[in-house]
Structure 1
Amino acid sequence: MAAMLEARELNLTLDFCLRVGELLLSSGAGAADVTATMQALAWQYGVRNPEVDVTFTSLSMSFQPAPEEPSVVLIRQVKQRDIDYEDLTLVDHLVREVLRGEVELKDARTRLARIVSSGHIRPRWAATLGWGVMAAGVGLQLGGNAAVVVIAAVAAIGIDRLQLVMGRRRIPFFYRQIAGGGLATLIAVAAAASWLDLDPSLVVTANLIMLLAGIGFMGALQDALTGFYVTAGARLTEALLATAGIIAGVSGGLTVADLAGVSVDRIDVGTSTLKDVTVMAVGAAICAAAFAFASYAPRRTLLPIGLVAAVAMVISQTVRIGGVGSTWSTALAAFFVGLVSYTVAGRLRVPPLVVVVSAVVPMLPGLSIYRGLSLLGEGAGYTSEGLLAIITAASIAIALSSGVILGEYVAQPLKREAHRLESRLAGPRLVGPLKVRSRESSRRVRRRSSDPAARD
């Protein structure tokens, strides 16, 4: 009976770890972070040194109690689900409480089931409006007038509803991206053919950035840098297919525009001024905050995320005005985002992933992709320039991902050393204890001190 109870406890522990890992991985967390979290949870509940295998579509966890006993192996498939930063935040809080010894396994499983099954904190139509505001922010960031901002928002709302309907019919993500890119271009072409005074290329670019926002370039590069090459390859393949779908949809829409005789010019990036940088910063703040809202991030995070994105955009454009290329200026801005994400996320009590992903969305290379497609559509004389613009877009995406990850690598040791310095040099705290010990850990310490066998 004791062996059966131990086996039951082991299975429940491994299943709990797998369910937490599934939610983290489907929310965009790196495979290294998922593995470390699962191992820490298992260790906390008494399962020492389990084997964890993370791929893009499945998670497996095994444990062998002794060499002469068979291994216990559990496998869980990773289901694709909508990104919900509220669920991610609640699970992060649960993990921290478990690692502090405050939650027993049964209660932790109950809380996790409640988090996963409770649904979104906002109605789906509110998220759709969030996507519209995000595209409007990008239109403002690109220097568009009121007509561009309104049409970009309307197109984004239409794209989100179209992709939602297609998703319910289980149509693959690649075709949903094609439909989104085509719809954005056709709406821009229709607006350009009307009496409205607007630049349709700005509308297309604004919705390109909206479509690029859900692609996991950063997770793919993080997995590659941390040695999870299978997961990195799968994520990169998905990202490339999604981007190819956007390119196919937009190029199809541009072909329709040519057949209809509507001119959709490419955007030529000129020299920015201080006024332009200010407008771009405001647009970037709106875009980042709206993306976080549409991804169900807690409301307390919206303003700080917008401020981080605005500062990052100012850094990027200021460095670019100084003569540095777009790739390096984007990398420096992304490094800033990664550097401050841990401090901001710690004060907001959310995972750093929520701050990082939302803040880099305004810097996604939608402009370079659109310029490349426009140049490729103008004929053989512009093929080399178009390919160069596409390559620039790829380099900007890599610069964003690598800059953020480098900032995270630098931020973690700095935060750790700052805490140690505070512990060594700080005098009596005026408010709050210097170090909090949980009730459960204090109980275990007292139990060890009173039990001679435990001390031995």
Structure 2
Amino acid sequence: MASPGGSPHNGGWGRNSAGPEAEQSEDRKPQSDEAHSAFTPPSGVPLPPVPEDDQPTSEFAVPSGLAPEPPPEPEGSAFAPPSGQIAQPQSQTQTQTQAGQHPGFVAFTPPSGIPMVRLTKDTPWQDRMRTMLRMPIAERPVPERVQRQEDETGPAAPRVLDLTLRIGELLLAGGEGAEDVEAAMFGVAHAYGLDRVEPTVTFTLLSVSYQPSLVDDPLTASRTVRRRGTDYNRLSAVFRLVDDICSEDVEVTLEEAYRRLVEIRRNRHPYSKWTLTVASGALAGAASTLVGGTWLVFFAAAIGAMLGDRLAWMASKRGLPEFYHFVVAAMPPAAVGIAVSLAQADVQASAVITGGLFALIPGRALVAAVQDGLTGYYITASARLLEVCYLIVGIVCGVLIVLYGGVRLGATLRPEEALGGVAQRPVTQILAAMLLTLAFAVLLQQERHTVLMATLNGGVAWVIFGALHFDPVGMNPVASTAVAAGLVGLFGQLLSRYRYASALPYVTAAIGPLLPGSATYFGLLGLAQGNMNAGMSSLTKAAALALAIAIGVNLGGEIARLFIQAPGAAEAMARRASKRTRGF
């Protein structure tokens, strides 16, 4: 009698010889010792031959006389294309594989992962960091760089975060867009070895969060931007510092970065206050010439703008908010225009007032606001637009106070006189546009080597606008302004790539000739004279021109980035933009 378990051969034979009934009994209840012994052949019955080793039997073998079942379909995969998806040809699959794309159904993540985006070192740091910011965190590549560490234990994270916030503060206070500020903060943090960093930029608050690992507590620091100033010389110096930090060819330690940052903060402005006052007068005079003024109009507008500039300085020294700076600065140009009209002098009073308004319109803040809105920073864009509205209201209050007084005194202001001779003096108009851009660049405290290129860019903008708006083309002024502003943004981005610097010094001053000074004045004059329909129509036109300038500048910059892009970044941007457009 065999043992209850039987030998291996016996046990295997007994389980196979029992047939389907035994398998069904096994499914119904567990086997016991008696059940095992029931398969042992009784005494006197010979054992069957031992199966050959090369053809072992199996409990899953199909009994004789039964047809084998068809093989089941292969188990589906989460990465396989769904049913009904047409397979691509082999040539197309090879082409996509060589291009770094996943062949087949591209809406699903490939089993091998998303191809890594390689950001070459030849592209500017702005493009590399902007590409990473526009990608989801899970798909961001690790930047190829040499970490700048203070010792072998790694970078001092709190000090790196503090340096990052201080650099972002200078950029945001200088007028840079929120996306460019985040790109700079991202680049500085990555250069010093902090990979898991998330910067956040709003209109007045900067914050950055760093998480060393998935199990460590994150470090978060913030900084408030309380004071803003227009100094593109300082802005360019900060860009050079960030470029050196992000470059692998230059070694910048934390101590050296702090030292250079202190020097940037203490750096004196390149132009004195009186130089800025003269520049504001030249800007107003050139703007009055653009709208048809003569040489007498030029000097009258210049005098009014310089008086307004000195009053604004006095208000600033007394600690008044910026709103009142614009109120008092708008009053002298309007007063000079009213005085010229009351004196019955042969001077176009409307051109005098229009020239003074050109120096006050916040074109820089408007362009930055629209740029932030187009790039998805809606909170910052809303705050910037609100700032622009307050400044424009200040200009309106200052001009309307004087215009109401002038109308009561009997001053005759005719809007049509400011439009005479605009298209008949092309050379004078081009020279006036270039002078306006030059004066605007000085007011922005630009570096001297950037003033010439900005001046040429402004002259080109006015040539394009005049060629499209005046005869024989006769295009709508809003469309002509948008095209000219687009070329300004395109040239500015190309020049900034060539210089590895910010695009603002090449763009902001160049849009000066395109600002809607005349439309703003006509709207205010209509309100002062009680003609509400004409006034609101002119103000609406001024708002449309301002938006055309801002959108054109942003579109030109995006076109420049489209053709000057880091390898692999275009595919990532296209994937993110298409999903966002569909509402995902």
Band of TM-score, shorter chain = 0.7 to 0.9
Aligned residue for 1:41?
188
- Is the partner of 2:175 in helix, strand or coil? coil
Matched residues in 1 for 2:422 and 2:333: separation? Answer: 29
C-alpha distance 115-273 of structure 1, shift in aligned 2 (>3 A): closer
Measured after TM superposition, the shift of residue 278 of structure 1 is 2.6
The reply to whether residue 22 of structure 1 matches residue 169 of structure 2 is: yes
The reply to whether residue 202 of structure 1 matches residue 351 of structure 2 is: yes
The reply to whether residue 91 of structure 1 matches residue 238 of structure 2 is: yes
Matching residue within 339, 345, 363 for 2:514: 363
> Is 36-45 or 409-418 further displaced after alignment?
409-418
Aligned residue for 2:488?
337
Measured after TM superposition, the shift of residue 345 of structure 1 is 3.3
Matched residues in 1 for 2:153 and 2:221: separation? Answer: 16
> Is 340-349 or 244-253 further displaced after alignment?
340-349
Q: Deviation per CA, 1:1-27, whole angstroms, max 9, x where unpaired?
A: x99996982111111111111111111
Measured after TM superposition, the shift of residue 329 of structure 1 is 0.5
Count of aligned positions: 415
C-alpha distance 347-70 of structure 1, shift in aligned 2 (>3 A): closer
Aligned residue for 1:188?
337
- Is the partner of 2:450 in helix, strand or coil? helix
* Native 8 Å contact 1:369 1:390 kept in 2: yes
Matched residues in 2 for 1:45 and 1:145: separation? Answer: 58
Aligned residue for 1:121?
270
Aligned residue for 2:204?
57
Measured after TM superposition, the shift of residue 109 of structure 1 is 1.3
* Native 8 Å contact 1:281 1:309 kept in 2: no
Aligned residue for 2:369?
220
C-alpha distance 7-196 of structure 1, shift in aligned 2 (>3 A): farther
Matched residues in 1 for 2:448 and 2:151: separation? Answer: 46
Measured after TM superposition, the shift of residue 96 of structure 1 is 0.9
Measured after TM superposition, the shift of residue 363 of structure 1 is 0.9
Measured after TM superposition, the shift of residue 69 of structure 1 is 3.0
Larger RCO: 1 or 2 (CA < 8 Å, sep 6+): 1
Matched residues in 1 for 2:559 and 2:299: separation? Answer: 40
Measured after TM superposition, the shift of residue 196 of structure 1 is 4.1
* Native 8 Å contact 1:338 1:408 kept in 2: yes
- Is the partner of 2:156 in helix, strand or coil? helix
The residue correspondences of 1:319-338 to structure 2 (distance < 5 A) are 319-321=468-470, 322-338=473-489
Matched residues in 2 for 1:358 and 1:349: separation? Answer: 19
* Native 8 Å contact 1:64 1:72 kept in 2: yes
* Native 8 Å contact 2:304 2:333 kept in 1: yes
> Is 280-289 or 230-239 further displaced after alignment?
280-289
Matched residues in 2 for 1:4 and 1:75: separation? Answer: 26
Matched residues in 2 for 1:417 and 1:289: separation? Answer: 34
Matched residues in 2 for 1:154 and 1:372: separation? Answer: 23
Aligned residue for 1:448?
none
Q: Deviation per CA, 1:242-280, whole angstroms, max 9, x where unpaired?
A: 111111211111101012222222246758676423322
* Native 8 Å contact 2:396 2:524 kept in 1: yes
Measured after TM superposition, the shift of residue 417 of structure 1 is 8.8
Matching residue within 492, 495, 505 for 1:354: 505
Q: Deviation per CA, 1:277-320, whole angstroms, max 9, x where unpaired?
A: 33222111101111111221111222221111111111112111
The reply to whether residue 404 of structure 1 matches residue 553 of structure 2 is: yes
* Native 8 Å contact 1:141 1:282 kept in 2: no
Unpaired runs of 5+ residues, structure 2, are: 1-148, 568-584
Kindly provide the amino acid, as one letter, of the partner of residue 289 in structure 1: L
* Native 8 Å contact 1:143 1:279 kept in 2: no
Matched residues in 1 for 2:521 and 2:390: separation? Answer: 17
Identify the structure with the greater helix proportion. Answer: 1
Matched residues in 2 for 1:391 and 1:49: separation? Answer: 46
Q: TM-score, normalised by structure 1?
A: 0.86
Kindly provide the amino acid, as one letter, of the partner of residue 228 in structure 2: R
Measured after TM superposition, the shift of residue 148 of structure 1 is 1.1
Measured after TM superposition, the shift of residue 323 of structure 1 is 2.1
Q: Deviation per CA, 1:48-105, whole angstroms, max 9, x where unpaired?
A: 1312111111111111213443322211111323211111111111111111131222
Matching residue within 78, 103, 127 for 2:225: 78
Matching residue within 387, 390, 395 for 1:241: 390
* Native 8 Å contact 2:308 2:331 kept in 1: no
Matched residues in 2 for 1:184 and 1:99: separation? Answer: 47
C-alpha distance 348-42 of structure 1, shift in aligned 2 (>3 A): closer
C-alpha distance 162-3 of structure 1, shift in aligned 2 (>3 A): closer
C-alpha distance 326-299 of structure 1, shift in aligned 2 (>3 A): same
Measured after TM superposition, the shift of residue 350 of structure 1 is 4.1
Kindly provide the amino acid, as one letter, of the partner of residue 546 in structure 2: A
* Native 8 Å contact 1:288 1:305 kept in 2: yes
* Native 8 Å contact 2:285 2:299 kept in 1: yes
* Native 8 Å contact 2:175 2:364 kept in 1: no
Matched residues in 2 for 1:112 and 1:318: separation? Answer: 45
- Is the partner of 2:415 in helix, strand or coil? coil
Q: Deviation per CA, 1:375-402, whole angstroms, max 9, x where unpaired?
A: 23333xx322221111110000000000
- State the identity as a percent: 32
* Native 8 Å contact 1:57 1:77 kept in 2: yes
> Is 330-339 or 350-359 further displaced after alignment?
350-359
* Native 8 Å contact 2:348 2:418 kept in 1: no
Kindly provide the amino acid, as one letter, of the partner of residue 482 in structure 2: A
Matching residue within 303, 310, 314 for 1:154: 303
- Is the partner of 2:208 in helix, strand or coil? strand
Kindly provide the amino acid, as one letter, of the partner of residue 390 in structure 2: L
- Is the partner of 1:53 in helix, strand or coil? strand
Matched residues in 2 for 1:277 and 1:307: separation? Answer: 16
- Is the partner of 1:211 in helix, strand or coil? coil
Unpaired runs of 5+ residues, structure 1, are: 419-456
* Native 8 Å contact 1:136 1:153 kept in 2: yes
C-alpha distance 365-215 of structure 1, shift in aligned 2 (>3 A): same
